[in-house]
Structure 1
Amino acid sequence: MELRHLRYFLSVARSLNFTQAAAQNFVAQSALSQQIAGLERELGSQLFYRSSRSVSLTEAGEVLVPLAQRIIADVEIAQMEMDALAGVRRGTLRLGLIQTPATSVDVIDVMGDFHHRYPGIEFEITNAPSLRMAAAVAEGTMDVAVVGLDASELPQGVDSVPLAVEPLVAIVANDSPLTGRRLVSIPELVDGVQFIHFARASGLRRRVEKAFTRAGVPPVGSFELGQIIDMIRLAARGVGVTIVPHTDALEAERTAGTELSIIPLADNDAVHPVSLVYMSSRLSPAASAFVEVFRTHLESHAP
């Protein structure tokens, strides 16, 4: 049994989806499936029930989850102790980033500063939905993440530093009847048009769905995309309408030269929180140093 087999197993157990688990571990789905099958043969027990429509844990799989988590945590603690002896001179920082880190602190600047101070630390970057990254931090498979969630939405034990609370805005084409409006409500925005959603399990998707719930109107004829810039560009072309953080809209308008109309929402609760999350109880020396560098940048940008 190898540690990577247990990591693959936990990824599938968390997402209950072999395709997602393979993407998270940067391996082909067929290779991950073979490794899980090999682990099952080695243990002599089936770990997952598989069908064409769903994946679920067997009783043996349920038993293995906490055991695998404990094994991986012990190995990581051992590595942390070795890194502590060596100081913050080597190692890997597993960092998660959302697409919309609109804060007063530029995350790229933080990464650059950190690399200048600790050139021996390598970055392992993951871009994934916020809920998935927060779960990875809680499980110990990710060190630090910037997510679109607030403290109330995080798994138990996960620490957070609020970075921003940004208003959400509607994006419509310039020739839309709504163009020029000072405010727009959700029912007015989706009346007779398609709505362009962001990826499921993302913090932005949760915020937008809550706004629809508050308005009491479900999106009509909706579809989803995995890139915010594509959502904005399609809305600007009149394919549908969408809702994104204000900074993303301004950035698309500035850098992509996209002609679009940005309209504030009438719902004052439609905001997008951004937080830095980590587990203080098991921060590696590299992760601890990164959090400190991030805090230094936050303090320097404080009003």
Structure 2
Amino acid sequence: MELRHLNYFLSVAESLNFTKAAAQNFVAQSALSQQIAGLEKELGSKLFHRSSRSVTLTEAGRVLVPLAQRIVRDVEITHMEMDALAGVRRGTLRLGLIQTPATSVDIIEVMGDFHHRYPDIEFAITNGPSEPMAAAVAAGTLDVAVVGLDAGDLPAGVDGLPLAVERLVAVVAEDSPLTGRKLVAIPELVDGVQFIHFARGSGLRRRVEAAFLRTGLPPEGSFEMGQILDMIRLAARGVGVTIVPHTDVLEAERTAGPPFSVIPLADHDAVHPVSLAYTSARLSPAAAAFVEEVRTHLDPPQSRPAPSPINL
């Protein structure tokens, strides 16, 4: 079994299209098909169901995907470690980012400082919900990820560096009867109006549903949105009410959208933790340097030490 065979397999598994996979790997489709057939023969199992209209993974193919991803990543890390010994500063950092920014550390600033220090390290950015990205860190398909989860929510084997704990607040239209309240309980907030949830699988969705459960109400939203700014704008227009981290309200207030009211929640446990997820047991030199960079930004600016020198 050769590494390129696994790369060919992963390309087909991702695209479920032999033509696209061949183009991605700069080989003829016939050659790629022969390599996949050879891999199937070596493993003694068919990896794909093929028809004139579709390509799907077999059970054996589904089992092979995470194993192949791990093997390919381990080989990449081996090359990077050897580069580190030789003092070569290069590589790729696969970074996952949620929509909600952390209050105590500016990840964009971290990325800028990191790039200035290691200009030959390339970023590969993934934006998505927290839970799938944390799972990707555990599987080794992401190096690090900023997620809306605390350490206790992370998968086994994944470390969490706390970045912030943000207050959750309610957002309602400016002409809402609740406007002017100093605090609001969730039953009052959703009484007779639609609730706008964030996407499933996100840390925010997990925290909001937990807040609903503490009131005894079922965590049922009328509908959900995939962009926090859109949730705030809809609430501002009276389409419903929503709950978001306070930093997202500050971002929305800078836009030219309709005015809205922000009310603190009576539930003091309604918070949104933000963490940097990584696996210390399988950390590439580039990822280790990024974690170190984040740590320096968590310190007060006047007391920040220079990051420890790391050969990449």
Q: Shared fold (TM-score greater than 0.5)?
A: yes
1:161-214 Cα offsets, whole Å, 9 max, x none, are 101111101110011111111111111111111111111101001111111111
Task: Summarize the alignment of residues 225-244 of structure 1 with structure 2, pairs less than 5 Å apart.
Answer: 225-244=225-244
Once the 2 structures are TM-superposed, how far is the Cα of residue 33 of structure 1 from its aligned partner? Answer: 10
Task: Summarize the alignment of residues 185-204 of structure 1 with structure 2, pairs less than 5 Å apart.
Answer: 185-204=185-204
Q: Is the 8 A contact 1:105 1:301 kept in 2?
A: no
Q: Is the 8 A contact 1:159 1:280 kept in 2?
A: yes
Per the alignment, residue 29 of structure 2 pairs with: none
Once the 2 structures are TM-superposed, how far is the Cα of residue 281 of structure 1 from its aligned partner? Answer: 1.5
Q: 1:126 to 1:227 in 2, by over 3 A?
A: same
Per the alignment, residue 15 of structure 1 pairs with: none
Once the 2 structures are TM-superposed, how far is the Cα of residue 109 of structure 1 from its aligned partner? Answer: 0.7
Once the 2 structures are TM-superposed, how far is the Cα of residue 144 of structure 1 from its aligned partner? Answer: 1.0
Once the 2 structures are TM-superposed, how far is the Cα of residue 235 of structure 1 from its aligned partner? Answer: 0.5
Correspondent of 2:40 among 38, 43, 48:
43
1:210-245 Cα offsets, whole Å, 9 max, x none, are 111111223566111111101100100111111100
Q: Which has the larger radius of gyration?
A: 2
Q: Is the 8 A contact 2:197 2:242 kept in 1?
A: yes
Q: 1:273 to 1:43 in 2, by over 3 A?
A: same
**Partners in 2 of 1:190 and 1:223 — Cα distance?**
13
Once the 2 structures are TM-superposed, how far is the Cα of residue 152 of structure 1 from its aligned partner? Answer: 0.8
1:5-55 Cα offsets, whole Å, 9 max, x none, are 33774xxxxxxxxxxxx6xxxxxx5648975x9697552645589xxxxxx
**Partners in 2 of 1:149 and 1:7 — Cα distance?**
31
Per the alignment, residue 211 of structure 1 pairs with: 211
**Partners in 1 of 2:276 and 2:222 — Cα distance?**
31
**Partners in 2 of 1:207 and 1:221 — Cα distance?**
14
Q: 1:224 to 1:83 in 2, by over 3 A?
A: farther
Task: Summarize the alignment of residues 105-116 of structure 1 with structure 2, pairs less than 5 Å apart.
Answer: 105-116=105-116
**Partners in 1 of 2:243 and 2:282 — Cα distance?**
37
Q: Is the 8 A contact 1:252 1:258 kept in 2?
A: no
* Residue identity opposite 2:7 in structure 1: L
Once the 2 structures are TM-superposed, how far is the Cα of residue 58 of structure 1 from its aligned partner? Answer: 5.7
Q: Is the 8 A contact 2:114 2:293 kept in 1?
A: yes
**Partners in 1 of 2:18 and 2:104 — Cα distance?**
40
Once the 2 structures are TM-superposed, how far is the Cα of residue 103 of structure 1 from its aligned partner? Answer: 2.0
Q: Is the 8 A contact 1:170 1:241 kept in 2?
A: yes
Aligned length in residues: 280
Percent identity, aligned pairs only? Answer: 73
**Partners in 2 of 1:4 and 1:188 — Cα distance?**
55
Give the aligned CA root-mean-square deviation in angstroms.
2.9
Say which SS state the counterpart of residue 72 (structure 2) adopts: helix
Q: Is the 8 A contact 1:170 1:265 kept in 2?
A: yes
Q: 1:146 to 1:236 in 2, by over 3 A?
A: same
**Partners in 2 of 1:302 and 1:153 — Cα distance?**
32
Per the alignment, residue 184 of structure 2 pairs with: 184
**Partners in 1 of 2:130 and 2:203 — Cα distance?**
5
**Partners in 2 of 1:211 and 1:251 — Cα distance?**
23
1:77-130 Cα offsets, whole Å, 9 max, x none, are 322223313436211111111111222111111111111111111111111111
**Partners in 2 of 1:146 and 1:71 — Cα distance?**
24
* Residue identity opposite 2:214 in structure 1: R
Q: 1:89 to 1:70 in 2, by over 3 A?
A: closer
* Residue identity opposite 1:144 in structure 2: V
Unpaired runs of 5+ in structure 1? 10-21, 23-28, 50-55
Q: TM-score, normalised by structure 1?
A: 0.82
Once the 2 structures are TM-superposed, how far is the Cα of residue 146 of structure 1 from its aligned partner? Answer: 0.6
Per the alignment, residue 150 of structure 2 pairs with: 150
Correspondent of 2:10 among 3, 6, 27:
6
**Partners in 2 of 1:152 and 1:128 — Cα distance?**
20
Q: Is the 8 A contact 1:159 1:278 kept in 2?
A: yes
Kindly indicate whether residue 168 of structure 2 is the aligned counterpart of residue 168 of structure 1.
yes
